[in-house]
């Protein structure tokens, strides 16, 4: 544990691998104390308890008066800059409610959700139904409120990838067949800023998978089940279909069997249907995102498992599964 006594070991280990991570760990006790004082909060941890941890953040249960809240402290990254503006625009509709934020310390004060009830753990047809309803609620169009200028445009990202992906693929020694690279580039060309035709610009949670959707304690959905909220948005503006991909790559072992590639395509179509999205656009964006992910993993040592997973997803969505990859149940898991 750090001097704050609350950071889980997995996050400690990740942060200790770099100077920036170690510096953030040393700053956490001071950041925590400052936010507790500034926002009139008290810790709500059991004796010896640790905070919940994300990939690069801790979420500490706190109270203000009788209200049960959550204080999130994130290690500063460019991706975190869009979180507070997006949560303010959603204003508790489909996403966790934001009460306070402090950009200088990347601290957020949030409503407290039930970390033990994730959409990840629901059977997939039920998860797809809840996910689709959330996507429809989160897909708000730009309006006159402040904050919209903080978000990257998805079609501009695709345009940039059109230029970058071929160079990265060559520099890395062509780590997968050219046809798969070209499949991604075709998507970038047709859905990028230059080639795009149609589509509606909305606010998009680009990391909307089952582990980033939690139940709201005490809240009940219209069908009598628990009400869910999205957390940890990496928000952009563009086509809502861009949001489908993370729900495909996060539950792959469930597809075990010879028909796994076809089952993945069926899941993509189901998610699009539940979200009232264009199924082909959803599939295409997922191919491009996984081609880019594959190159990202290929650029970094010790990511062979993640590289194989991205290649399996991208090629299966093209109905041309690459030979030589692990079986779907043996791919690197995301937990």
Q: List, in order, residues 6 or more apart from 232 with CB less than 8 Å away.
A: 54, 57, 83, 207, 212
DSSP string, 78-100: GGGGGHHHHHHHHTTSSBPPEEE
Last residue of a domain, one of 100, 116, 132: 116
Last residue of a domain, one of 116, 142, 161: 116
Q: Is residue 84 part of a domain?
A: yes
Q: Is residue 195 part of a domain?
A: yes
- Please state, as a whole number, how many other Cβ atoms lie within 10 Å of the Cβ of residue 48: 8
What pLDDT is stored for residue 216 in this prediction?
92
> How far apart (Å, rounded) are the C-alpha atoms in residues 285 and 244?
8
**pLDDT for residue 4 is more than 50:** no
- Please state, as a whole number, how many other Cβ atoms lie within 10 Å of the Cβ of residue 52: 17
- Same domain for 109 and 175? no
Mean pLDDT over each residue of the chain, to the nearest integer: 92
H or E stretch covering 58 = strand 57-64
| Tokens of residue 331, six digits | 């791919």
What pLDDT is stored for residue 224 in this prediction?
52
Residue at token pair 């800023």: 193
How far is Cα of residue 60 from the mean position of the Cα atoms in its chain?
A: 20
Q: Is residue 2 part of a domain?
A: no
What is the value of pTM for the model shown?
Answer: 0.92
- Same domain for 77 and 134? no
The CB-side HSE value for 325 (13 A sphere, CA atoms) comes to 27
Catalytic choice (114, 143, 163, 207): 207
CATH classification at residue 40: 3.30.200.20
What pLDDT is stored for residue 226 in this prediction?
63
What pLDDT is stored for residue 1 in this prediction?
38
44 is catalytic: no
Q: What is the pLDDT of residues 104-162, one digit of tens each?
A: 899 999 999 998 899 999 999 999 999 999 999 999 999 999 999 999 999 999 999 99
Q: What is the pLDDT of residues 254-267, one digit of tens each?
A: 999 889 999 999 99
The total number of residues written for the chain in this structure: 335
Virtual torsion, Cα 278, 280, 286, 292, nearest 10 deg: -120
How far is Cα of residue 194 from the mean position of the Cα atoms in its chain?
A: 26
- Same domain for 132 and 226? yes
Last residue of a domain, one of 67, 88, 116: 116
What pLDDT is stored for residue 6 in this prediction?
77
**pLDDT for residue 2 is more than 60:** no
**pLDDT for residue 3 is more than 50:** no
> How far apart (Å, rounded) are the C-alpha atoms in residues 328 and 335?
15
What pLDDT is stored for residue 222 in this prediction?
59
| Tokens of residue 91, six digits | 């204003």
- Same domain for 311 and 183? yes
CATH classification at residue 185: 3.90.1200.10
- Same domain for 109 and 123? no
Q: What is the pLDDT of residues 259-308, one digit of tens each?
A: 999 999 999 999 999 999 999 999 999 999 999 999 999 999 889 999 99
How many domains does the structure of the chain reveal?
A: 2
Q: By residue range, what is the domain housing residue 124?
A: 117-330
């Amino acid at each position: 544990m750090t001097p704050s006594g609350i950071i889980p070991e997995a996050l400690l280990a990740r942060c200790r691998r770099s100077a920036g991570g170690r510096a953030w760990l040393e700053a956490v006790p001071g950041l925590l104390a400052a936010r507790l004082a500034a926002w009139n909060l008290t810790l709500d941890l059991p004796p010896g308890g640790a905070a919940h941890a994300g990939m690069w953040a801790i979420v500490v249960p706190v109270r203000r008066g009788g209200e049960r809240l959550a204080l999130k402290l994130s290690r500063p990254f460019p991706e975190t800059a869009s979180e507070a503006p997006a949560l303010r625009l959603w204003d508790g509709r489909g996403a966790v409610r934001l009460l306070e934020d402090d950009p200088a310390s990347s601290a957020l004060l949030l409503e407290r959700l039930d970390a033990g009830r994730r959409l990840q753990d629901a059977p997939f047809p039920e998860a797809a139904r809840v996910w689709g309803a959330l996507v429809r609620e989160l897909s708000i169009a730009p309006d006159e409120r402040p904050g919209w200028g903080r978000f990257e445009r998805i079609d501009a990202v695709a345009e940039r990838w059109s230029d970058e992906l071929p160079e990265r693929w060559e520099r890395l020694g062509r780590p997968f067949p050219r046809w798969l690279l070209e499949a991604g580039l075709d998507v970038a060309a047709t859905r990028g800023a230059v080639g795009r035709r149609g589509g509606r610009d909305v606010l998009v949670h680009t990391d909307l998978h089952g582990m980033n959707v939690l139940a709201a304690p005490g809240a009940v959905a219209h069908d009598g089940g628990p009400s869910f909220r999205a957390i940890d948005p990496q928000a952009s503006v563009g086509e809502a279909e861009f949001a489908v991909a993370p729900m495909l790559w996060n539950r792959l072992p469930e597809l075990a069997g010879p028909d796994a590639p076809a089952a993945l395509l069926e899941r993509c179509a189901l998610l699009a249907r539940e979200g009232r999205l264009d199924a082909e656009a959803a599939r295409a964006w997922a191919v491009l995102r996984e081609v880019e992910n594959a190159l990202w993993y290929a650029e970094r040592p010790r990511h062979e498992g993640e590289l194989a997973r991205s290649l399996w997803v991208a090629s299966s969505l093209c109905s041309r599964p690459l030979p030589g990859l692990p079986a779907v149940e043996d791919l690197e898991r995301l937990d």
